[in-house]
Amino acid sequence: MTDSQDLSEAPRPAMAGVAKAGAGEAQSGKAAGMGQPAVEFRNIDIAYGKFVAVRDFSLSITKGSFVTLLGPSGCGKTTILRSIAGLVDISGGQIMIGGRRVDDVPIYKRNIGLVFQSYALFPHKTVFDNVAFGLKYRNVPKPEITRRVSQALAMVRLPGSEKKLPSQLSGGQQQRIALARAIVFEPQVLLLDEPLSALDANMREEMRVEIKKIQKETGITAIFVTHDQEEALSMSDRIVVMNRGAMEQIGTPEEVYETPATAFVADFLGKANMLAGTASVSAGQTVVTLDAGPTINVISPRPIAPGSKVTVVVRPQKLSVGTTAGNRLSGRVISSSYLGGSAIYEIAIGGRTSIRANAPINGQIIREGETIDVGFDPQGCVLLDEAGQRIS
């Protein structure tokens, strides 16, 4: 992105995504045929005394992509983000930006844009002064500051707001100003630390679209941190699912949702029915006898030893209510929640086991206490081994 380029008319770059990193080393973008990565983590560790917050984390992020670090509180996602910015020191490994090692480089020399959860705007300064703050400390000439601030405000759809104070803006507008301040000096990488968590549901949805649109228009590499699965699925080119300071899975939103690599990913990323059972083989097909009683057919990518303990993962959206197609399960409705065009049913299928189905409403909602059948395609489920790893 050059100083003279009109950002509102900038071509949208191809979203190449993220090169998958192994447990012990980061795959280079060049090796994957995608050019030099924008950001690389090479076996980094982050510790606070004896507590290890992040361990042996490796990841390569392609220039121009939007990558989300997703996970529960305490999983290490924010710690990793802050380590890129230089706000947290790493205990081992290397952090590279544009092929240059930066883990020993001062914060102000890393060329990073950071958007905080709390906006962190100066309440006594105008919008112009808030956005221009970083430029002034970089000794950018005044005419250039004016041009860049105007350009950044136009980009976040708030032109003409230069003289307003933050208190005169809504929460969504304040978040846009924080975003303008982060991108005004044209950083190599934009870091977003749960920037939407303080907004209401409607404003969050609107800002998701705006942030993604701005990221595409500028071609900037963005790393987004959230614990909100819907945000991650709707905004990301790649999602890195974190757990206890380590990477559980990396992939496109479709990959991590449809084919979770572990029981943790299946359970954390959206709702999932986790049906435990014992595998066997019948007429060349893999059959699982569920602990709850019923027997179902599954697709196994490789042979499974008879008697193996497995877990069948089925998303609620994969269950069809009132059908006997594919695998059939019968049970009693424990609860039903009306959602407008669809309903969520909690169905007891035996003993203490229950399943959740998210189905369109055809005529009438099924009430509590009624008995219903649900069916699902054997190809619509994922099979996990006893250790909670996907069988592949």
Tens of pLDDT, residues 45-100: 999 999 999 999 999 999 999 999 999 999 999 999 999 999 999 999 999 999 99
Quickly state the pLDDT bin for 324 (edges 50, 70, 90): low
The token pair that represents 60 in the structure block: 């390569």
Q: Does CATH place domain 271-384 in 1.25.40.10?
A: no
Beta strand 221-226 pairing with 189-193: parallel
Quickly state the pLDDT bin for 43 (edges 50, 70, 90): very high
User: According to the model, what pLDDT value does residue 23 have?
Assistant: 34
Over residues 348-389, the pLDDT tens digits come to 997 778 999 998 887 678 889 999 999 999 998 999 999 999
pLDDT over 80 (residue 34): no
Residue ranges of domains in the chain: 7-259, 271-384
Return d(Cα 213, Cα 199) in angstroms, integer.
18
Output phi, psi for 346, to 5 deg. Answer: -105, 120
Residue 364 burial by Cβ neighbours in a 10 Å radius (0-12, 13-18, 19+): exposed
Angle at 219 between CA 42 and CA 29, to 5 degrees: 30
Number of Cα atoms under 13 Å in the Cβ half of residue 272: 27
Least confident of 160-174, 199-213, 241-255: 199-213
Number of Cα atoms under 13 Å in the Cβ half of residue 34: 20
Over residues 218-230, the pLDDT tens digits come to 999 999 999 999 9
Q: What is the mean pLDDT of residues 103-116?
A: 91
CB-CB neighbours of 206 under 10 Å = 14
Is the CB of residue 336 less than 8 Å from the CB of residue 368?
yes
CB-CB neighbours of 325 under 10 Å = 10
User: According to the model, what pLDDT value does residue 5 have?
Assistant: 29
Residues forming beta bridges with residue 39, ordered by sequence position: 61, 97
| Superfamily (CATH H level) for 7-259 | P-loop containing nucleotide triphosphate hydrolases (3.40.50.300)
Within the chain, where are the H helices?
Answer: 77-85, 127-137, 142-155, 171-183, 201-218, 229-235, 253-258, 263-268
- Give one DSSP letter per residue of 326-388, joined into a string: SEEEEEEEEEEEE-SSEEEEEEEEETTEEEEEEEE--SSPPPTT-EEEEEE-GGGEEEE-TTS
User: According to the model, what pLDDT value does residue 26 have?
Assistant: 35
Return all residues near 86 (Cβ < 8 A) that are at least 6 apart.
102, 105, 106, 107, 110, 112
Return d(Cα 242, Cα 229) in angstroms, integer.
12
Return d(Cα 145, Cα 265) in angstroms, integer.
45
pLDDT over 70 (residue 190): yes
Residue in this structure with the two tokens 């059939």, named with its chain if needed: 328
Return d(Cα 169, Cα 68) in angstroms, integer.
28
